[in-house]
Amino acid sequence: MWINWGGNQSNHSRACSPESLDELRQVIASEKTPRIVGSGHSFTPLVADATRVISLDLLPTASLQASSENLAWLDANKRLKELSPALAVHNLAFRNLGDINVQTLAGAVSTATHGTGAELPCLSAELQNVKMMLASGEVINSQDDPTGDLIAAARVSLGALGVLLEAQVKLVPKYYLRRRVEMGALQETLARMHELWESHRNFEFFYIPWSQKTIRLRHDLVDEPKGKAPADLDNLAVYGLRAARILGHLHPSLRRQALALLSMLQTEEDYADEGWKVLCSQRDVRFVEMEYHVPTKVARDVLMEVIKRTEANHPDVYFPIEVRKTAGDTSWLSPFQGGSRVSVAIHTAARQNFADYFRDIEPIFREANARPHWGKMHSLKFADLEALYPDYNRFCSLREKLDPTGKFLSGYLQRLLVAG
């Protein structure tokens, strides 16, 4: 049985790990709806809704081929946490990364995984070319497509076009980041957020519900490592927030007092290290998440409404609300297609009832014409998505051409990609 990281999706078929491309070809041919899994860190049923879940962990590794111009062909099924140190050996690095790096490169790009930074696009935008196995078993290379359509679609594909084997990725020279973490009042952070995005390479913040306080994270380029990373207390902090929520059941003022105490205990960080080590951390406390990418102009209003509704209607929620910004790109299914967006993410603990909370908050995002993160909970279907993406139908037509029998088109993907 297969279960995703968040524990909200599962599949009861026997998992399958082909050890060669021929074996992979055979499994795809013999299964009605095979779905490829990366590290299982998506919350949506992109993988679960399959007759067979296929892991590519045992496929022979494609070797890293770095060329000039900061380009390299990478094994798409390797984890980002393995690729980053391997790239550093070649003095190269991913331009940006998200909160964690346990995802496979293929899994991360397939859902447009992003970090934060006004000038930094999501990881998918860095893909220059891909090698992919189609449902027919044929392996194709987007370099052979003179129209450029294949790569525009394959950068963010939800695993609906074929199996990503290798990706040619645009990289940057290895870099060091200075990380500064500090507490700040919500109103001040809201007033300054766009200025902070403009003045720092990476900026993001977390709002702690019921505290009126934010934790602000700034990252800037420096020449060398400096100081030491403090012990990672993020997981402990979540337990503190949960304890404050329990006190809130006794009396709301106790929650506010506990949160005030916790914010005094929050240590301010200031150190520098290699980019990937600074940007990514370990997440041990399991949660379920909804994240929408909001047009920049309305981001502040949307966020204020999300906070207001969370605090009015959902006293059991204690996970911080995360706010990031990502630069625009041109991939057909990228939520950042056409311009930068501010991402607002809400969470509940894995065992909590996330459905009521997400159902209550989602209309705020919908009204703002925000686009959902493909790997995080949302309720949108074909008609909703078609209205949000100018190239949606181009993607769907190309998908039909590459996979005419709908081999990779699970029931869930049909709801997203087929009119009806």
Per CB under 6 A, residues contacting ligand FAD are 5-6, 35-42, 46-47, 56, 76-77, 98-100, 103-104, 106-108, 110-111, 113-114, 158-159, 163-164, 283, 373, 375
Report the residue number, 49 or 362, with the smaller CB distance to ligand FAD. Answer: 49
Q: Among residues 258 and 417, whose Cβ is nearest to ligand FAD? A: 417
Nearer of residues 62 and 247 to ligand FAD, judged by Cβ: 62
Instruction: Record the tokens describing residue 77, joined without a space.
Output: 């099924």
Output 255 or 322, the one with its CB closest to ligand FAD: 322
Give the CA distances from residue 125 to residues 34, 107, 119, 203, in Å, rounded to whole numbers and listed in that order: 26, 14, 12, 19
Cβ proximity to ligand FAD, 164 vs 244, nearer residue? 164
For residues 225 and 202, give the distance between their C-alpha atoms in angstroms, rounded to a whole number. Answer: 17
Pick the closer one to ligand FAD by CB: 42 or 248: 42
Q: Considering only CA atoms, which of 163, 294, 174, 280 is closest in space to residue 224?
A: 174
d(CA 64, CA 41): 24
DSSP state of 409: -
* Closest distance of CB 354 from ligand FAD, Å: 13
Closest approach of Cβ 53 to ligand FAD, in Å?
A: 9
Q: What minimum distance in Å lies between the beta carbon of 411 and ligand FAD? A: 14
Closest distance of CB 252 from ligand FAD, Å: 29
End-to-end CA distance of the chain: 31
Q: How far is the CB of 115 from ligand FAD (least distance, A)?
A: 6
How far apart CA 113 and CA 99 sit, in angstroms, is: 10
Distances (CA, A) of 320 to 63, 281, 344, 349: 39, 16, 11, 11
Cα separation values, 193 from 41, 200, 343, 371, 407, Å: 28, 11, 13, 21, 45
Give whichever of 104 and 348 is closer to ligand FAD, judged by the CB atom: 104
Please say which residue, 100 or 317, places its beta carbon nearer to ligand FAD: 100
Closest residue by Cα to residue 332 from 383, 376, 398: 398
Helix, strand, coil distribution of the chain in percent, nearest 5: 35, 25, 40
Identify the CA nearest to 290 among candidates 242, 354, 238, 228: 354
Whether the CB-CB separation of 66 and 90 falls below 8 Å is answered with: yes
CB of 246 to ligand FAD, least distance (A): 23
* 3-class DSSP string for 193-252: HHHHHHHCCEEEEEEECCCCEEEEEEEEEECCCECCCCCCCHHHHHHHHHHHHHHHHHCH
- Work out how close the CB of 122 gets to ligand FAD at its nearest, in angstroms, rounded to a whole number: 7
CB of 244 vs ligand FAD, minimal distance in Å: 22
Compute the least distance from the CB of residue 204 to ligand FAD, in Å: 9
Q: Which of 102, 113, 101, 136 is nearest to 26 (CA)?
A: 136
Looking at the Cβ atoms of 214 and 343, the one nearer to ligand FAD is 343
* Cβ neighbours of residue 268 closer than 8 Å, sequence gap 6 or more: 180, 181, 182, 183
Query: Closest approach of Cβ 221 to ligand FAD, in Å?
Result: 20
Complex with ligand FAD: residue 98 or 121, whichever CB lies closer: 98
